[in-house]
Amino acid sequence: MGQSTHLDIEFAAPDGVTLRGALYVPDGSGRHPAVTMAHGYGAVKEMALLRLAAAFADAGFAALVHDHRTFGASDGTPRQDIDPWKQIEDWRRAITYLESRPEVDADRIGLWGSSYAGGHAIVLGASDRRLRAVVAQVPTISGSEQSRRRVAPDDIAALEAALDSDERAQAAGEAPRTQALASADPAVAASYRAQDAVDFYLQELPEGTRWDNSVTVRSTRKARTYEPGVLVDRVSPTPLLMIVGLRDTVTLTDTGLAAYNRALEPKRLVTIPGGHFAPYTTEFARASAAAIAFFREHLAPNRD
């Protein structure tokens, strides 16, 4: 394993919002192949991604990890608001920022995204040919199918009424309403209720981390209509690695496997035991090793 250092960085999104993160740089002179990384729904970089960025850097890659707008160290209001298309637009600017860094070989940039950002990885892989390799870990494939399976039929009417009420309140000048991101209490409106999700989101974070257990209600409507899987066959000819959890009830194992089957070559599938949050916890070593091996193959070719 190599050694690395990290720098706190910031860059401007296309609309001027300041996004912040960390750049991990391997020791050694010259320009390094690089990976740009971002987290999933409602999470911040301190939730396992800094650990992964350090692992990438120790393997010889510069690794840029940023917080999405309205989350963590990044600016943006209202706080805890999730718009997938704004996140994608911001991430494209992160690629451009990474290209500009003197430590980075701009011709060898890969992208790693997980969960909601795994869906973003598919969209960016299909639309930005600067990327030389893409890793989509437990990716969102179909927001509508995820919602259909995770929301009980008897609860759909109440959910849609809450979304409509929030829309009308915003039109009347109110701030977007919020709900808990994760809660095991059935009396509390929340995006996630499963124990593994509660454990992940409510984990102890480093002192000074900016994160709240909340998300705007309107983020749910956007998530329910987000369909990155329709673009999976357009990632080719950029190499794609999909990491799929075999018991994933969040982004759904079967939709991940079906999306992989629709993807064109070059592609690779790695399956891991466990549910949606296992790649960050019990299966971190297996998932990170798969990503590192894939990036080594496609970003660090023999240049003799």
Contacts of 267 by beta carbon, 8 Å cutoff, 6+ apart: 235, 236, 239, 240, 241, 242, 260
Query: Quick one: pLDDT at residue 46?
Result: 97
The mean of the pLDDT values for the chain is 96
Residue 230 covered by a domain: yes
How far is Cα 1 from Cα 4, in angstroms, rounded to an integer?
10
* pLDDT (average), residues 196-211: 96
Instruction: Tell me whether residue 54 is exposed, middle or buried, using C-beta atoms within 10 angstroms of its C-beta: 0 to 12, 13 to 18, 19 or more.
Output: middle
Residue 174 covered by a domain: no
- What domain count does the chain have? 1
Residue 188 covered by a domain: no
Domain of 115? 4-148+225-299
* pLDDT (average), residues 271-288: 97
Predicted confidence band of residue 217 (pLDDT cuts 50, 70, 90): very high
Residue 291 covered by a domain: yes
The 3-state DSSP class for residue 86 equals: helix
Predicted confidence band of residue 302 (pLDDT cuts 50, 70, 90): very low
The CA distances from residue 231 to 245, 262, 273, in Å, are 21, 10, 26
Query: Quick one: pLDDT at residue 172?
Result: 98
How far is Cα 82 from Cα 212, in angstroms, rounded to an integer?
13
Residue 240 covered by a domain: yes
Query: Quick one: pLDDT at residue 304?
Result: 35
SS3 content of the chain, % helix, strand, coil (to 5): 40, 25, 40
- Beta strands 215-216 and 178-182: pairing type? antiparallel
Predicted confidence band of residue 29 (pLDDT cuts 50, 70, 90): confident
pLDDT in tens, 32-85: 999 999 999 999 999 999 999 999 999 999 999 999 999 999 999 999 999 999
Residue 260 covered by a domain: yes
Query: Quick one: pLDDT at residue 273?
Result: 97
Residue 249 covered by a domain: yes
The most distant pair of C-alpha atoms in the chain lies apart, rounded to whole Å, by 65
Query: Quick one: pLDDT at residue 4?
Result: 75
- CATH number of the domain enclosing 265: 3.40.50.1820
How far is Cα 78 from Cα 2, in angstroms, rounded to an integer?
40
Residue 90 covered by a domain: yes
Predicted confidence band of residue 213 (pLDDT cuts 50, 70, 90): very high
pLDDT at residue 303 is higher than 80: no
- Beta strands 190-192 and 178-182: pairing type? parallel
The CA distances from residue 145 to 40, 65, 102, in Å, are 17, 29, 43
